[in-house]
Amino acid sequence: MDSPDQYAVMGNPIAHSKSPRIHRQFAEQTGQQIEYRALRVDEGDFEQALEHFFKQGKGLNITVPFKQRAWQLSGRLSERAQLAGAVNTLWMEGGVLVGDNTDGCGLVTDLVQNQRLLINAKRVLLLGAGGAARGVLQPLLAEGPAKLVVANRTLARAQELVELFSPFGVVEASSFEALRGAFDLIINATSASLEGEVPPLPPGVVAGHTHCYDMMYGAEPTAFNRWAKSKGAKDCIDGLGMLVEQAAEAFYLWRGVRPDTQPVLAALRAEMGQT
């Protein structure tokens, strides 16, 4: 019997990664012979680790802090990776390292298909102007929101993103304090929840019809989602669905088979004590 094709996720830290469990479940479900591991890579060893892996390995997921470096090292980039300025999925094609970014696709799939949320013609607020925000902007704009506002502590960083993405839809920049009026959908792409903090948002951005989405997730509701609930948001969603959906897109790119994400997501939620 042939040995299974090798896949992995590279990052630092990596012990917490759910990617091996997710991809093993995808493989079992679709009958694909793969082995998927989590590889912790020291900051100075990333290029060497890539080279070593692809001597026999088939595909990699890339996570913090290597997404920008993977982008720079890719010999060919998908359009969405080019715009995102970061890569989370790699494979070799004809001796060329190909980079893609499935984060935005994962977010939109979770919002539209899993949560049944319409983005078209809605007022959308994206919090943060770092790599996480940049990675999802183009797929969000492709859904045709009435307006998408990028809000950031440093206004200049939000303005840079607006300049880059304005060809794709109606997008504006704002500081947190200058935000006015309620939004239909607020997406937290800052890392504030990791520190148990919430961006300093003015009252009134959340109303009874507002859906709030934090890209972070955990066994307990994130700081942002707790805040949103206290302000009367219609619902508060964490980023676990995004994680599973971006993984499914990577699996499809590598194997040409699209797994069913629902049982995998349900199993992860049960593991985390969520229903």
Residues comprising the binding site for shikimate? 17-19, 63, 88, 103, 217, 246
- Which residue of the set 58, 67, 122, 147 is catalytic? 67
Residue type, 266: A
Structure tokens at 216: 């972070």
Q: Are 35 and 87 in contact (CB under 8 A)?
A: no
Q: State whether the Cα torsion 36-42-47-52 is positive or negative.
A: negative
Residue ranges of the annotated binding site are: 17-19, 63, 79, 88, 103, 128-132, 152-157, 215, 217, 239, 246
The pairs formed by 82-87 with CB atoms below 8 angstroms and a separation of 24 or more are 83/134, 83/137, 83/138, 83/164, 83/165, 84/131, 84/134, 84/135, 84/138, 85/131, 85/134, 85/135, 86/131, 86/134, 86/135, 87/62
Name residue, tokens 């992860």: 268
- Is 67 designated active site? yes
Residue ranges of the annotated binding site for NADP(+) are: 79, 128-132, 152-157, 215, 239
> How big is the CA angle at 274 (ends 273 and 275), to the nearest 5 degrees?
120
Q: Are 119 and 146 in contact (CB under 8 A)?
A: no
| C-alpha–C-alpha distance, residues 183 and 117, integer Å | 13
Catalytic residue numbers, as ranges: 67
